Copies of this chain bind each other. A is one copy, B any other.
Amino acid sequence: MNIALLGFGVVGSHFYTLAKEHGGVKVTTVLSRRPRPELDCTVTADFDEIVRDGSIDLVVEVMGGVEPAFSYLSAAMRAGKHVVTANKQLMCAHYEELLSLAKSNNVSLRCTAAAGGGIPWLTSLARAAENDRITAVEGILNGTTNYMLSAMTNKGSDYTAILKEAQALGYAEADPTADVEGYDARRKLVLSANLAFGVSIREDDVPCVGISHITPPDIEKAKELGLTFKLIARAEQSGNKVAAFVCPTLFPVTAPEAHTDGTGNLVSLYAKRIGKQSFSGAGAGGFPTGSNVLADCLEIRRGGCGVYYTDRSKPCPVDNSAAEGRWFFRHNGEYLFFGDYTVAQAFEVYEKYRQDDPTALMARVAAPRKK
């Protein structure tokens, strides 16, 4: 099976190494703006060459961003080529179009590495969704913020200092917005919810609070209560309603989430028949992510595992009005608990609090209710 690789950054270069080592698939072409004489395959800056090349069976896209990735993958599928991508931004932005293109051109479209890095999360979720009713998906899906929260909790670091450290270590981008404000986790949640519930929800419909307002006194307060902050993305389905949101969440120190430290990810599904299943591992990194990309390619090579993103993708509004929770707020220096707000109400209250206190904090409480 011959592969064209679009993008030669961290994930791309690691995937290239892994594919070469494995030998079961062959990267014959790399799309790159600059020459790469170190590679012993065709290097081109012209995507049309790849589309016209009938010897290429599969296009791997790890360039990121919506365009030109969307145009490239659309053209590839129209030319009958399978597609594997790690690009969550693209998958969220053009979910229905991409699925429908895969279906109408009878090619496979897989993106396991787009959520959970190296963890076989989306494949396991697809397996469960095929024969059970998933009621919720929830987890730590962003390694950068988990690294930061772990350091704030375990070493008492403050937000600004640990962000700088994470940037120096390459865990956080120069512009950390997508990570720290929860947008990266939200995209992974959208893909997870779409696959779990057979819907297509929109990123912008999912309310999202990140970790940038969490202070050392907040961490101390949580500790006093036996709780630990984690940034959690959660979606649940009840009747025909799909609820979805991202926000800091307080777990009892005995919960598996509380023990997921550093850049690790931990994500769970809840289903009617199989109950709760959890998956943990490296949520980012060149080799883990590249490995999940390669696994998708190998499954396509074996054939038949098909479009695991099937045609089950009805557009669906996000409705947080029925999802329940317990909540923790900090507003003008005071800590407040509420046990009787829906998710929609909690985000409304938080918006109100932020009007006179822009540093106000909101968190869900995932601890079991005291008897």
In the complex where A120-B128, A131-B18 touch, is A278 in contact with B279 (Cβ < 8 A)? Answer: yes
Q: Check A174 for interface membership: any CB of B closer than 8 A.
A: no
A290-B132 Cα distance, complex, nearest whole Å: 11
User: Do B282 and A274 have beta carbons less than 8 Å apart?
Assistant: yes
Taking the complex as formed, is A370 at the interface, i.e. its CB lies under 8 A from any CB of chain B? no
Q: List residues 59-74 of chain A with CB under 8 A from any CB of chain B.
A: none
Q: Is there a chain B Cβ closer than 8 Å to A119's Cβ?
A: yes
Contacts of A274 in B (CB 8 A): 118, 281-282, 287-288, 291-292
Q: Which residue of B lies closest to A292 (CB)?
A: B274
The number of residues on chain A lying at the interface, defined by a beta carbon within 8 Å of a beta carbon of chain B, is 42
Q: Across the interface, do B304 and A127 meet the contact criterion of CB distance under 8 Å?
A: no
* CB-contact partner of A303 in B123, B281, B287, B304, under 8 A: B304
Q: Which of A48-56, A75-83, A294-302 participates in binding chain B?
A: A294-302
Residues in B whose Cβ lies below 8 Å from that of A128: 120, 291, 295
B298→A131 contact, CB < 8 A: yes
Bound: A259/B135 CA distance, A:
23
A315 lies within 8 A of chain B by Cβ: no
Chain B residues with Cβ under 8 A from A281's Cβ?
274-278
Q: Does A333 reach chain B (CB closer than 8 Å)?
A: no
Flag if B295 contacts A302 (CB, 8 Å): no
| B280, A278: Cβ atoms closer than 8 Å | yes
B131 contacts A124, CB within 8 Å? no
With A295-B131, A305-B299: A118-B275 Cβ-Cβ less than 8 Å = yes
A273 interfacial contact with B, CB 8 Å: yes
Checking B119, B124, B131 against A291 with a beta-carbon cut-off of 8 angstroms, the contacting residue is: B131
A273 and B305 contact, CB distance less than 8 A = no
The answer to whether the Cβ of A33 comes within 8 Å of any Cβ in the partner chain is no
Chain A to chain B contacts (Cβ below 8 Å), 16 pairs:
A118-B273, A118-B274, A120-B120, A124-B124, A128-B291, A128-B295, A130-B298, A131-B295, A132-B291, A275-B285, A277-B282, A278-B279, A278-B281, A302-B304, A303-B303, A304-B305
9 nearest A-B pairs in the assembled complex, by CB-CB distance: A304-B304, A277-B281, A303-B304, A273-B287, A118-B274, A274-B288, A278-B280, A120-B124, A131-B294
